[in-house]
Structure 1
Amino acid sequence: MGRCYRTSLHKNIILLLAIIFFLLVLVASIPRKTGKLPPGPTPLPLIGNIHQLVYQAWKGKGIVAALDFYRKKYGNAFTVWLGPIPAVNITNFDTAHEIFVKNGKKCVDRQLAPIFEHITGGLGILTANGEGWAEMRRFTLLAFRKLGVGGAQMEKRIMNELDGRCSELNQEISQAGRAIVPVQFFDLTVGSVINTLLVGKRFDENTKDDFLVIKKLFDDSAETFNLFDLSVPVWLLKWFFPWRYNMNLNARRTIRNHVGKEAVERLERVESGELILEEQEEPKDFVDVFLGKMREEREKDGGDDKNYNMSSLKFVLQDLWLAGQGTTATTLYVGFMLLAVHQDIIQKVRKELWKVTNNSRNLSLQDRSNTPYLNATIAEIQRHASILNVNFWRINSETIHFDGYEVAPGALMTAQLGALHVNEELFESPEKFDPERFLRDEKLIQQLIPFGIGKRSCVGEQIAKSELYLVFGNLLLRYDIKPHGPILSSYDVFPYGSAKFPDVSAKLEFTRI
């Protein structure tokens, strides 16, 4: 027992010394000039406002509530000190547009979580900076254009997958008179679309269990996606919280190996001469486009390019898979749960869709301009789903002036989407589910920024918009939807985390119209 006590005491002393060392490092990194910052709570030496932020999150039962508290107290631009580093938070659209669009070149780089830098080594899109990030973003957008993202080719991919899932629903309905729909329906639909786009394969009966295992592994690691795990040094996580470190590492490694497996096998076939890559006007998938670029760069430079190699491809695929799967599937799940308890809104949407399609065909992306009520409903769903509790901070590289404030280089800045989407100055009675707010004020839909704003906005925005429109619209055309059991009152399992993760235990009941 004495030995256990001494071991515990020894670890506590080491932890205390580690924290002191960490704080000293933070103190050494205090910007010499902070400029005239927006107002905010008074910081303490070393820890800044972290204690107040934690208290307000506890009091309000979530990080969004804490940020909204500071918005109401200090205004739409306020400063919270994360240790010795000022973080300027913007919670209205006009200011966010001025800073991140008009002055976008001044704050492109993200403040990267040490654990992500450790895992990626600067590769990929989500957690990368500099010229490598810029090159991968440019290439990805070009590849998406070649793959028909936003147009008829992408619509075909989505509808093929939706029809496949609906055939399974119809079979269940024919046998039982109804289909019980869990969250896995949306996970598989969205996951299969993004998998088809990236590696050319959908999840069928033989492969969907593999997908669900990977998805569960990532969901289980969701608890580590919080301000603590994303802020502390990697060595501290490894030493004192090894299970959290390993969970984060293993989840992303498993996803990377899954999405990269097809790419590795295809490259081996190319190098053996079994498969010949040819220039295609309509390439099969993202891997084909990337391997073509790899070959082009090899022929040009005579070796592997630092951006176009298999390691880089795996990390880009991982980022696109994670960003394209989780956020869209969550929005669909939360959206249908909201609609299930607002049958009047379903009827209004369906009436509009029947008129547009003459109740004789599928809804198409070309119908968007003729479905204002569906567009408004999806916008209101996205506002409520608002996937990020805390948006990624960016590092400003030059002095930024706005609204009489001055933010010196080295400070952090971000548009806080979670707080912006509940800002009553923009969205009257924000707690209310009211699609018609976007019809009463048509400009309001432009002030909704679920995909972020500026140069670091989501690279897959057009994919997600197409999926949301086609899935919501066509499922409402085909099925009556109501709750199966209780609808949960809270959608966020980890309200103190950086991302929003809903409680996915509720189910829906589908019957054919």
Structure 2
Amino acid sequence: MIFILLFTVFFGYLLFRQYTGSGKLPPGPLALPIIGNIPQLAYYIWREKGIVPAFDLFRKKYGNVFTLWVGPFPHVSICDYNTNQEVFVKNGNRYKNRLLPPIFDHLSEGHGLVFSNGEIWAEMRRFTLLTLRNMGVGRDVMEEKIMEELDARCEDLNLQAVDGITIVNTSELFNVTVGSIINSMLVGKRFDEHNMHEFNRLQQLVHDSGEVFTPFDLTTPVWILKYFFPKRYRLVMDSMLAVNEYVAREAKQRFEDLKNGLYELDRENPNDFVDAFLAKMEKNEDNPAYSMKSLEFVLADLWSAGQDTTSTTLTSGFNKLVNNPEVIKKVREELLKVTDNGSRPLSLKDKTRTPYFNATLAEIQRCASIGNVSLWKTSEGKTTVNGYELGDGVILTSQLGALHINENVFENPEKFHPERFIENEKLLHQLIPFGIGKRSCIGENLARSELYLVKSLFG
């Protein structure tokens, strides 16, 4: 009886909150009690054959800023560049915090880069950006590491040739190439025939973890999962911990070796990200941001966020080029001219001399649009978005996928047409594949370097 009473009160509160608050929000489809717009979302994703065209449909009907209710919670979706710039860049401090899935917040305890907020997140972002810069990301040092990996990968392909013919699984090739570059940066080890099983194991763990999660796990309070669905709780926790522990195993072993005098740390010139973190940890023993738990989550975030998105973009780009041979021809002509008929490898310094190749990479990223929806953020204090006055704690998100297929910005968006970025250079500013604002992709410079150099060889 008490349970029924509590449920009735809670249900009534949600109804009251939904219908009294909706008038202050941007327009959107009619939301049902408790479940919100989930049925409409599922239907339109099925009908339009994808989440991006579904959101684009809502944009066309309700405008560039609209509201969707995911369950009993409203989410303000922003689909145009100017509003995204106004909200997440000019007023970025108000929207730097993410709405964290309870289970991730419970597991990380505020550590990491992707699913964290507050001082530890801010410190880790500063440290990671500085460390990547010191390691040469975007400069000659990182370019050399990328090219070394490409040379080694090409050599592997040559060894696999039979009668001068090599059959290549492009998705696997790009996965290993990007994974090896990231692993080399993080722990100083690339993947080759001697340790390829480690890469395969990690890929399997990441895949299995992704298969485990459901919207129920991501939205349900932890105490409900833990006490009412204990098997489900344990399964979700174990899948996340397995990925984190496997990514961090090298760092943990190095930390133990360092304590036991079996590893010598070059504090002035660290070999990789882990060395840089351990050196910083020695100087900041009392700072909770610099702990092995923090390092574990940062490594997992850098690996997960950097590996899959870049390799998927490369694979998508390869497929686009195969289906558009006229683009391949123009790219090759430009690259051969810049590299003296292929007598030297392409360099990041050549970017200013490869306008068509740059435009092709931009078009690949627009079409791939890997980060279709940026992770949800919450507002701090009352704010105004596109003329709508929003209260404290409102959930907002940037609909990048819908932005990239907006026919008012990108004419004939369904067409693969690199020339659009040459004909109108302003379009480059409206392409935001790495997110926008203070929570944009921390590895953007590394990803751009990889796309430019790797795609020039395998594209």
Q: Post-superposition shift, 1:261?
A: 1.4
Residues 238 and 421 from structure 1, CA distance in 2 versus in 1: closer, same or farther, beyond 3 angstroms?
A: farther
In the other structure, the counterpart of 1:508 is none
- Kindly indicate whether residue 358 of structure 2 is the aligned counterpart of residue 375 of structure 1: yes
1:298-349 Cα shifts (integer Å, max 9, x gaps): 2xxxxx4211011110010000010111111111111111111111111110
Q: Post-superposition shift, 1:36?
A: 3.5
- Kindly indicate whether residue 161 of structure 2 is the aligned counterpart of residue 178 of structure 1: no
Distance (whole Å) between structure 2 residues aligned to residue 56 and residue 240 of structure 1: 32
- Kindly indicate whether residue 377 of structure 2 is the aligned counterpart of residue 390 of structure 1: no
Distance (whole Å) between structure 2 residues aligned to residue 245 and residue 384 of structure 1: 37
Residues 346 and 46 from structure 1, CA distance in 2 versus in 1: closer, same or farther, beyond 3 angstroms?
A: same
Residues 257 and 39 from structure 1, CA distance in 2 versus in 1: closer, same or farther, beyond 3 angstroms?
A: same
- Kindly indicate whether residue 336 of structure 2 is the aligned counterpart of residue 354 of structure 1: yes
Residues 170 and 262 from structure 1, CA distance in 2 versus in 1: closer, same or farther, beyond 3 angstroms?
A: same
Amino acid at match of 1:118: H
TM-score by length of 2: 0.92
Q: Post-superposition shift, 1:62?
A: 2.7
Equivalent in 405, 409, 417 of residue 426 of structure 1: 409
Q: Give 3-state SS (helix, strand or coil) of 2:219's partner.
A: coil
1:201-223 Cα shifts (integer Å, max 9, x gaps): 11111211221122123223334
Distance (whole Å) between structure 1 residues aligned to residue 316 and residue 458 of structure 2: 15
Equivalent in 282, 304, 307 of residue 325 of structure 1: 307
Residues 474 and 204 from structure 1, CA distance in 2 versus in 1: closer, same or farther, beyond 3 angstroms?
A: same
Amino acid at match of 2:264: I
Contact 2:371 2:435 in 1 (8 A): no
- Kindly indicate whether residue 446 of structure 2 is the aligned counterpart of residue 459 of structure 1: no
Q: Give 3-state SS (helix, strand or coil) of 2:426's partner.
A: helix
Amino acid at match of 1:220: D
In the other structure, the counterpart of 1:284 is 271
Equivalent in 196, 203, 207 of residue 208 of structure 1: 196
- Kindly indicate whether residue 63 of structure 2 is the aligned counterpart of residue 75 of structure 1: yes
Q: Post-superposition shift, 1:22?
A: 8.1
Q: Give 3-state SS (helix, strand or coil) of 1:81's partner.
A: strand
Q: Post-superposition shift, 1:144?
A: 0.7
1:122-169 Cα shifts (integer Å, max 9, x gaps): 210100011111111011111111111111111111111111111011
Residues 26 and 220 from structure 1, CA distance in 2 versus in 1: closer, same or farther, beyond 3 angstroms?
A: farther
The 5-angstrom pairing of residues 33-72 of structure 1 reads 36-72=24-60
Q: Post-superposition shift, 1:24?
A: 7.0
The 5-angstrom pairing of residues 107-256 of structure 1 reads 107-173=95-161, 175-224=163-212, 227-235=215-223, 248-256=236-244
Equivalent in 100, 103, 109 of residue 88 of structure 2: 100
1:329-376 Cα shifts (integer Å, max 9, x gaps): 111111111111111111110100001001211011111111111111
Contact 1:106 1:397 in 2 (8 A): yes
Distance (whole Å) between structure 1 residues aligned to residue 127 and residue 292 of structure 2: 15
Q: Post-superposition shift, 1:23?
A: 5.6
Amino acid at match of 1:440: E
Contact 2:316 2:368 in 1 (8 A): yes
CA RMSD of aligned residues (A): 2.6
Per residue, is there more helix in 1 or in 2? 2
Q: Post-superposition shift, 1:29?
A: 7.5
In the other structure, the counterpart of 2:317 is 335
1:79-136 Cα shifts (integer Å, max 9, x gaps): 1122333211011111100110001111111011122112212210100011111111
Q: Give 3-state SS (helix, strand or coil) of 1:414's partner.
A: strand
Contact 1:92 1:426 in 2 (8 A): no
Contact 1:34 1:407 in 2 (8 A): no
Distance (whole Å) between structure 1 residues aligned to residue 57 and residue 338 of structure 2: 43
Residues 443 and 330 from structure 1, CA distance in 2 versus in 1: closer, same or farther, beyond 3 angstroms?
A: same
Distance (whole Å) between structure 2 residues aligned to residue 148 and residue 34 of structure 1: 49
Q: Post-superposition shift, 1:423?
A: 1.3
In the other structure, the counterpart of 1:505 is none
TM-score by length of 1: 0.83
Amino acid at match of 1:53: L
Residues 439 and 28 from structure 1, CA distance in 2 versus in 1: closer, same or farther, beyond 3 angstroms?
A: same
Amino acid at match of 1:146: N
Amino acid at match of 1:375: N
In the other structure, the counterpart of 1:511 is none
Contact 1:224 1:244 in 2 (8 A): no
User: Relative to structure 2, which stretch is displaced further, 144-153 or 246-255?
Assistant: 246-255
In the other structure, the counterpart of 1:294 is 281
1:261-306 Cα shifts (integer Å, max 9, x gaps): 11112112221223333332x42100011001100012xxxxx421
Q: Larger relative contact order (C-alpha < 8 A, sep ≥ 6)? A: 1
Distance (whole Å) between structure 1 residues aligned to residue 12 and residue 201 of structure 2: 42
Distance (whole Å) between structure 2 residues aligned to residue 75 and residue 292 of structure 1: 50
Amino acid at match of 1:368: K
Q: Post-superposition shift, 1:175?
A: 3.8
Contact 1:35 1:407 in 2 (8 A): no
User: Relative to structure 2, which stretch is displaced further, 405-414 or 47-56?
Assistant: 47-56
Residues 320 and 21 from structure 1, CA distance in 2 versus in 1: closer, same or farther, beyond 3 angstroms?
A: farther
User: Relative to structure 2, which stretch is displaced further, 119-128 or 41-50?
Assistant: 41-50
Distance (whole Å) between structure 2 residues aligned to residue 423 and residue 384 of structure 1: 12
- Structure 1 alignment gaps of length 5 or more: 1-15, 299-303, 477-513
Contact 1:399 1:407 in 2 (8 A): yes
Contact 1:34 1:408 in 2 (8 A): no
Residues 24 and 82 from structure 1, CA distance in 2 versus in 1: closer, same or farther, beyond 3 angstroms?
A: farther
Aligned residues: 456
Q: Give 3-state SS (helix, strand or coil) of 1:380's partner.
A: helix
Distance (whole Å) between structure 1 residues aligned to residue 89 and residue 355 of structure 2: 27
Residues 144 and 219 from structure 1, CA distance in 2 versus in 1: closer, same or farther, beyond 3 angstroms?
A: same
Q: Post-superposition shift, 1:450?
A: 0.8
Distance (whole Å) between structure 1 residues aligned to residue 225 and residue 170 of structure 2: 35
Residues 273 and 137 from structure 1, CA distance in 2 versus in 1: closer, same or farther, beyond 3 angstroms?
A: same
- Kindly indicate whether residue 254 of structure 2 is the aligned counterpart of residue 266 of structure 1: yes
Amino acid at match of 1:109: N
